[in-house]
Copies of this chain bind each other. A is one copy, B any other.
Amino acid sequence: MPDALKVALLGCGVVGSQVVRLLREQADDLTARIGVPLELAGVAVRRPNRHPDIPAELLTADAAALVARTDIDLVVEVVGGIEPVRTLLLSALRSGKSVVSANKALLAEDGATLYEAAAANGVDLYYEAAVAGAIPLLRPLRESLAGDRITRVMGIVNGTTNFILSRMDATGAGFDEALAEATALGYAEADPTADVDGFDAAAKAAILAGLAFHTRVTAADVYREGITSVSAADIASAKAMNCTVKLLAICERREQSVSVRVHPAMIPLTHPLAGVGDAFNAVFVDAEAAGSLMFYGRGAGGAPTASAVLGDLVAIARNRVNGGRGARESAYADLRVTPMGEVATRYHVALDVADRPGVLATVARAFADHGVSISTVRQEGRGESATLVLVTHSASDSALAATVAQISDMDFIRRAASVMRVEGLPAE
């Protein structure tokens, strides 16, 4: 047994500084749980002179040299982004170092390359912190449910957009106003694109789908709509049908394929995800034998994310001490990703129409022509400012799109249709 396991930390921002704190404060407990001490042996940062809390002799701007050190056993990466991190982690894995990463973008773009390097070199690659922050989710999917057949994963996995949508729901604000509030409070970054356009959630959805269904899914496979076009009127429409709007990541197993998508959706207020507010995350997992499971907690933030990183660090350290290995990539199922056009959901469609006799009949005919069955219709307002609100039964994305395209050309339509998916309604 080694005297100590030496840890290299790549990145020391909001999460990395909490990793350093926990390594220090919990040193005795970590030693007892692993069997040997963890020793922080180096910290790679862009500007070493900006980290007065870290002993100067540990700091370096040369991440490649740190990763190459032969005395390093374990590497923790909390930098983010694709390069140079991919090169650094491949170098670490190939030189026999186990890796913990919180890098959802890299894992969703090219996890397979990292996994293969880990397997080829007999080392571990763990990344619990990449999805849903502190919530133990990837380990349950990969290990606890390994004897079951997961059919669906659906959740709120982006705290920034959940904060914005929660504010829009609570105050009636529009998207721009709620985003400004999120930015002011530090919930949104200066450039919020990755969050509000759904890239962050799509990367997480790809990782979840890959683990849940034992197949490879990359971010590019994920159908993605952000929340920038969600309007105060959409939120009000949702309220009118006792719903709220959430940005959902949804991964579904079909017979010989999977569907993976991120988009805003109306969900009933009675659904447990409706009550998940602010920056919290929550994920439902449906499995054939287990039934429905829910996991809930903090999806971001320095300390919660560091908790997940440390859990993985203990795991790879225990494996190093005990001579074992964690689960490798499991992609044997090798399933096709269903094109979004084939994916069926329910829809909420609001049509601003001139209120003339025969309009509803014409609209209903268009839905029927495309095989889209209508569940409910209600009319709001009268005369020239009427709105028809329809909720469909489950229909394919392509059928709904064709229906809306046909209706859009009709002379009584006053404005482009407002369409939003609806999830979590009781079974039809």
- Residues of A at the B interface (CB closer than 8 Å) are 18, 22, 26, 29-30, 32-33, 128, 134-136, 139-140, 143-149, 214, 272, 275, 287-298, 301, 303-304, 306-315, 318-319, 322-325, 327, 330, 332-333
State how many angstroms separate the Cβ of A312 from the closest Cβ of chain B: 8
Task: Give A33 to B146 CA distance when docked, in angstroms.
Answer: 7
Instruction: Please name the residue on chain B nearest to A28 by beta carbon.
Output: B332
State how many angstroms separate the Cβ of A212 from the closest Cβ of chain B: 12
Instruction: Please name the residue on chain B nearest to A328 by beta carbon.
Output: B322
B289:A306 contact, CB within 8 angstroms: yes
Task: Give A216 to B112 CA distance when docked, in angstroms.
Answer: 41
* Chain B residues with CB under 8 A of A303: 288-291
Asked whether A136 and B136 contact (CB < 8 A) given A29-B149, A214-B33, A324-B324, the answer is yes
Asked whether A330 and B296 contact (CB < 8 A) given A147-B313, A303-B291, the answer is no
In order of increasing CB-CB distance, the 8 nearest A-B pairs are A324-B324, A147-B310, A136-B144, A136-B140, A134-B290, A290-B307, A289-B307, A293-B297
A296:B297 contact, CB within 8 angstroms: no
Could you list 6 A-B pairs, sorted by A, with CB under 8 Å? A134-B291, A146-B310, A289-B306, A291-B298, A296-B296, A323-B323
* Chain B residues with CB under 8 A of A26: 147-149
* Chain B residues with CB under 8 A of A327: 318
* Chain B residues with CB under 8 A of A324: 319, 322-325
A304:B291 contact, CB within 8 angstroms: yes
Q: Which of B147, B306, B307, B314 contacts A309 (CB 8 A)?
A: B147
* Chain B residues with CB under 8 A of A134: 287, 289-291, 293
Task: Give A195 to B201 CA distance when docked, in angstroms.
Answer: 42
B32:A214 contact, CB within 8 angstroms: yes
Task: Give A317 to B14 CA distance when docked, in angstroms.
Answer: 39
Task: Give A294 to B297 CA distance when docked, in angstroms.
Answer: 6
Task: Give A298 to B308 CA distance when docked, in angstroms.
Answer: 25
Task: Give A295 to B289 CA distance when docked, in angstroms.
Answer: 17
* Chain B residues with CB under 8 A of A319: 324
Task: Give A297 to B323 CA distance when docked, in angstroms.
Answer: 34
Asked whether A147 and B323 contact (CB < 8 A) given A33-B214, A293-B295, A297-B290, the answer is no
Known: A22-B148, A146-B310, A290-B307. 12 other contacts (CB 8 A): A30-B147, A134-B287, A136-B293, A139-B139, A144-B308, A147-B307, A147-B309, A289-B304, A291-B303, A293-B297, A294-B294, A323-B324
Task: Give A287 to B134 CA distance when docked, in angstroms.
Answer: 10
Instruction: Please name the residue on chain B nearest to A327 by beta carbon.
Output: B318
Task: Give A295 to B293 CA distance when docked, in angstroms.
Answer: 7
* Chain B residues with CB under 8 A of A144: 128, 136, 139, 308, 311
Instruction: Please name the residue on chain B nearest to A332 by beta carbon.
Output: B32
* Chain B residues with CB under 8 A of A311: 143-148
* Chain B residues with CB under 8 A of A148: 22, 26, 307, 310-311
Instruction: Please name the residue on chain B nearest to A38 by beta carbon.
Output: B147
Q: Which of B29, B147, B291, B304 contacts A314 (CB 8 A)?
A: B147
* Chain B residues with CB under 8 A of A288: 303
B306:A22 contact, CB within 8 angstroms: no
A325:B322 contact, CB within 8 angstroms: yes
State how many angstroms separate the Cβ of A318 from the closest Cβ of chain B: 7
